[in-house]
A and B are shown apart, each in its own frame.
Chain A
Amino acid sequence: ELKVEQNPLFLSMQEGKNYTIYCNYSTTSDRLYWYRQDPGKSLESLFVLLSNGAVKQEGRLMASLDTKARLSTLHITAAVHDLSATYFCAALNYGGSQGNLIFGKGTKLSVKP
């Protein structure tokens, strides 16, 4: 059974600092997804990582995937307050149902001045 673990679950950062959110998953999966959710809002798809070694960057966020280590990271560079949100990762489980996305519990990021 595929399980997805994120850490940390809570992250308080100062503006201008760098940090990394980790997403580990328990069984083979070569597709990993990152989402952002602002308080009381819907989800926003950030990155779709489709293969080992995939790296994608958007602004101050960079996501990578290492399928051998079963690890994806979301790196935040020079954090700004606007990045405060909850970030979810999800891995794709290829079980008999042709695909089931399993989510982590989310990392609540707070960027303080």
Chain B
Amino acid sequence: DSGVTQTPKHLITATGQRVTLRCSPRSGDLSVYWYQQSLDQGLQFLIQYYNGEERAKGNILERFSAQQFPDLHSELNLSSLELGDSALYFCASSRNQGFQETQYFGPGTRLLVL
């Protein structure tokens, strides 16, 4: 158990809908990272937040957005969902802001868009 929690574990929804994925980092970790894993795209880094502020941005679609709250949990919002958004979404956390140290991954949220 990495100490990173993600909810929900599974999510089934329809095209055009909006969903919110939630991530709670390990105690004391200030950075949260989001990743997408799909058969088509492989593993992709989406976005990173550090202590409430966006710090790095990867291949995140405009339909997707994220935020980190004062209690350091983070949410990834996916809107106008398409079939191709079906994937595993992982979050990870680390103590500091840079990509300089081990990241601890949550169990993931499996999203299925029908």
Residues of chain A touching chain B, judged by Cβ–Cβ distance below 8 Å, are 31, 33, 41-45, 48, 50, 88, 90, 92, 97-103, 105-106
A99-B105 contact in complex given A92-B99, A106-B42, A106-B43, C-beta closer than 8 Å: no
- Establish whether residues B57 and A100, one from each chain, have CB atoms under 8 Å apart when the complex forms: yes
- Establish whether residues B2 and A100, one from each chain, have CB atoms under 8 Å apart when the complex forms: no
Q: Which residues of A contact B108 (CB under 8 A)?
A: 42
> Shortest Cβ distance from A96 into chain B, in angstroms?
9
Find B101's partner among A43, A48, A98, A106 (CB 8 Å cutoff): A48
Number of chain B residues close to chain A: CB under 8 A = 25
A42-B99 contact in complex given A100-B58, A103-B44, C-beta closer than 8 Å: no
- Establish whether residues A50 and B100, one from each chain, have CB atoms under 8 Å apart when the complex forms: yes
- Establish whether residues B90 and A42, one from each chain, have CB atoms under 8 Å apart when the complex forms: yes
Find A97's partner among B42, B43, B57, B104 (CB 8 Å cutoff): B57
Secondary structure at chain A's binding surface: helix, strand, loop or mixed? strand
> Shortest Cβ distance from B1 into chain A, in angstroms?
10
* A102→B21 CA distance, assembly (Å): 22
> Shortest Cβ distance from B32 into chain A, in angstroms?
14
- Establish whether residues A98 and B55, one from each chain, have CB atoms under 8 Å apart when the complex forms: yes
Q: Which residues of B contact A98 (CB under 8 A)?
A: 55-57
